[in-house]
Structure 1
Amino acid sequence: MIPGPIDPPARLLMGPGPIAAYPSVLEALGAPLVGQYDPFMTATMNETQELYRAVWATANEATMLVDGTSRAGIEAAMVSLIRPGDRVLVPVFGRFGHLLAEIAERAMAEVHTIEVPWGQVFPVSVIEEAIVRVKPTLLALVQGDTSTTMLQPLDEVGAICAAHGVLFYSDTTASLGGNAFEADAWGLDAATAGLQKCLGGPPGSAPITLSERAVEVIRSRGRVEAGIREEGDPEATDFVRSNYFDLGMIMDYWGPRRLNHHTEATSMLYAARECARVILLEGRDAVIERHRMAGEAMLAGVRALGFVTFGDLSHKMTNVVAVEIPDGVPGDEARGAMLTDFGIEIGTSFGPLHGRVWRIGTMGYNARQDAVTTTLAALEEVLARYGVSVPAGGGVDAALDVYRA
């Protein structure tokens, strides 16, 4: 039997991502396709590059998209910047630091990690000490890790990396658009993101920006295309060990030469363009402030419901909070009740926090007052159902107090 047309249920996605896309982004996804070298297509690519330069706060010419989810951008950055045997330093404060370390290992790097307990971030002095000790070629550092909800300060790290000749890469998948990020002012050599969190789009496109220094590193490497070695000694082995994720080739595709590399994901290009356009229309700082306000309201609301929050709140991302699951409440069952009875999704967690916390997001299109209060009202009902004593309307009232202040 052939199924009917796709018909997803109505959901309010209030977890750590993905989230509901802005309505205009969904409209953009349905726009007509054009040919890969149609003047409209190349103009749209140019517009998208310029929009994301503003989102990243950079003048980097090499600002573009990698077709694939946020992990595609991460992998493209790391396999293109890392030569086999390079020392790579990864400060780990959650699940996604472990991911960066794994990808660096797959790129044949000599990987060094430092760790802090989940719920904390690194003092900049600890990162500097590790750089001096390890002498890495590349520092790979997550900005916001949704597994712990923590936001790692980056503003002083770039200067330290520059002083020691270290490339500085950051994964901003969970943070870009809802938290401050200044690619040029903070000295980033490479940064990647995804659409499905604060940028307010669907997963499937990974914005990336590269400094001139990073571009030089990538351009200095050989390439293999159609089995023929190019750029350098034909016996050389210093080429990027991926065709799809070779940023040198992707830059040629997005640059004025428009050298064919892959077929651009046209609908995702439209969506990524619209995500950036929406943010800049509202104002980059205004969007960050909207995320801060929604995050503060949700935090006040869950505290009023009696939840114990997880982690160092002075370093919490604006767009997600982790709360301890109350004693006696079956975590997965209660999350299921939120989804089944109210159409609201909140998140579980990973590793040492699995079964211990829920993660509640307020990001992108859902960083708004009605989404916050609706979620808190549903949480109150579900908690009461499992015997937790909660003040009637307490969560909603506390959130509204934040908005009214």
Structure 2
Amino acid sequence: MHPVNPPARLLMGPGPITADPRVLRALSTPLVGQYDPWMTSAMNDTQELYRGVFGTANEATVLVDGTSRAGIEAVLVSLLAPGDRVLVPVFGRFGHLLAEIAGRAGAEVHTIETAWGQVFTPTAIEDAIVRVRPKVLAIVQGDTSTTMNQPLDELGAICERHGVLFYTDATATVGGNPLEVDAWGIDAVSAGLQKCLGGPSGSAPVTVSPRATAVLDERRSVEAGIREPGDDVADEPIRSNYLDLAMILDYWGPRRLNHHTEAASMLYAANECARILLDEGVEQAIARHELAGRAMLQGVQALGLGVFGDVAHKMHNVVAVEIPSDVVGDQVRASMLDDHGIEIGTSFGPLHGKVWRIGTMGYNARKDTVVTTLAALEHALRRAGHAVPHGGGVDAALDLYRDSTVSGAPVGVPA
């Protein structure tokens, strides 16, 4: 048995990432009871902070206690009754996850797919909506398995035109890529702390529009015995207790109806993640992520490495680097970890063993981490017998930072 004393690591994979020290300090602060007036105030403050993070006025903005997958499941199991149709456009591993969760909720799942490394056009999604006539469109904004960022800004109007609820999983994008919930007409969003928000996994911020809340209210009235389930499958009660979003909203709402014991430490962490982002400014944080991502992209390209996918639709915060044919990808990753203490990722499915995924997000979206990772990657490649330009990656990244007017570091951290 060993004490909890993790090794020093620089987490530069697709997430989780190195948590901001301010968030770690928040995690260590004293616990307070869930109905203490101070805790009630902290919950209210956290809701308001995440309205700013999401770009929404939604009253129904809360935390789901659990990892980002708990937030996904809470939204889908609560909005979708058995037999409801859901359309899931799949462009990577996490689209398949949305389809699986919706299927477990009893929904009639319809998918459309595009090649990994590509995204969907609004026309393709609208054509599928017309054909399927779903209750919910469920789509990932940024899929870290492919590093692609699906444009969402036109989808809200399409969904409204056809009477469809619009849900997106923004776990990998919020805080580092544009996301405007109200302006884009998104009805439900779930996220996580462990990527661009710079925190640990374990809390899932969720926001729900009045239109989606009305659906939850209909199902809540069945659970409360206000009316009996009818022939409409939408009248069936939600098939989860812990992830019943209607009950979670009651817990966070003015009545504070008992549902679960709030994970106080994770609430503190989530509060601080949002506060850090808003202190920096959402637009500034997005610009910082864009700069760090572009520096990493140009750095790996300067090392002579290829990049997977449509770079025009790449997320700011992750790049998929094609593994050279003359090296073993996992051996290079092991060298990065063992010799430099830096973690980078592999990928799933058709990309497993073909790309490394390198993240620049949250607290790690800054110049020193980009340069350190590129230097370590160059060294690991050379040790594996792959020829690379000496200092090429580092020079390319530093040149970009030198020519940029955007700050390369989060608030409180030197560029």
Shared fold (TM-score, shorter chain, > 0.5) = yes
CA distance in 2, matches of 1:223, 1:381: 62
Q: Which runs of 5+ in 2 are unaligned?
A: 404-415
Query: Cα–Cα, structure 1 residues 14 and 134, in superposed 2: closer, same or farther, change >3 Å?
Result: same
Task: Note the 1:56-205 alignment, pairs <5 A.
Answer: 56-205=54-203
| Superposition deviation, residue 328 in structure 1 | 1.5
Note if contact 1:222-1:232 (Cα within 8 Å) is conserved in structure 2: no
SS where residue 112 of structure 2 aligns? strand
CA distance in 2, matches of 1:222, 1:122: 35
CA distance in 2, matches of 1:376, 1:362: 12
Q: Deviations over 1:36-81 (max 9, x none)?
A: 1001100000000000000000000000100000000000000000
Question: Paired residue for 2:293?
Answer: 295
CA distance in 1, matches of 2:23, 2:247: 28
Question: Paired residue for 2:409?
Answer: none
Query: Cα–Cα, structure 1 residues 223 and 239, in superposed 2: closer, same or farther, change >3 Å?
Result: farther
Q: Could you say what the CA RMSD is over the residues aligned between the two structures, in angstroms?
A: 1.2
Q: Calculate percent identity across the aligned residue pairs.
A: 71
User: Does residue 1:380 correspond to 2:378, yes or no?
Assistant: yes
CA distance in 1, matches of 2:229, 2:371: 63
Note if contact 1:198-1:363 (Cα within 8 Å) is conserved in structure 2: yes
| Superposition deviation, residue 234 in structure 1 | 7.1
Q: Which runs of 5+ in 1 are unaligned?
A: none
Q: TM-score, normalised by structure 1?
A: 0.97
User: Does residue 1:233 correspond to 2:228, yes or no?
Assistant: yes
CA distance in 2, matches of 1:193, 1:218: 19
Note if contact 2:73-2:243 (Cα within 8 Å) is conserved in structure 1: yes
SS where residue 219 of structure 2 aligns? coil
Count of aligned pairs: 400
Q: TM-score, normalised by structure 2?
A: 0.95
CA distance in 1, matches of 2:6, 2:318: 25
Note if contact 1:62-1:209 (Cα within 8 Å) is conserved in structure 2: yes
Letter of the 2:31 partner, please give it: L
Query: Cα–Cα, structure 1 residues 222 and 64, in superposed 2: closer, same or farther, change >3 Å?
Result: closer
Question: Paired residue for 1:15?
Answer: 13
Question: Paired residue for 2:34?
Answer: 36
Letter of the 2:243 partner, please give it: F
Question: Paired residue for 1:371?
Answer: 369
Query: Cα–Cα, structure 1 residues 282 and 222, in superposed 2: closer, same or farther, change >3 Å?
Result: closer
Note if contact 2:303-2:392 (Cα within 8 Å) is conserved in structure 1: yes
| Superposition deviation, residue 178 in structure 1 | 0.3
Note if contact 1:223-1:240 (Cα within 8 Å) is conserved in structure 2: no
CA distance in 2, matches of 1:210, 1:75: 14
SS where residue 233 of structure 1 aligns? coil
CA distance in 1, matches of 2:222, 2:159: 31
Note if contact 2:51-2:57 (Cα within 8 Å) is conserved in structure 1: yes
| Superposition deviation, residue 174 in structure 1 | 0.4
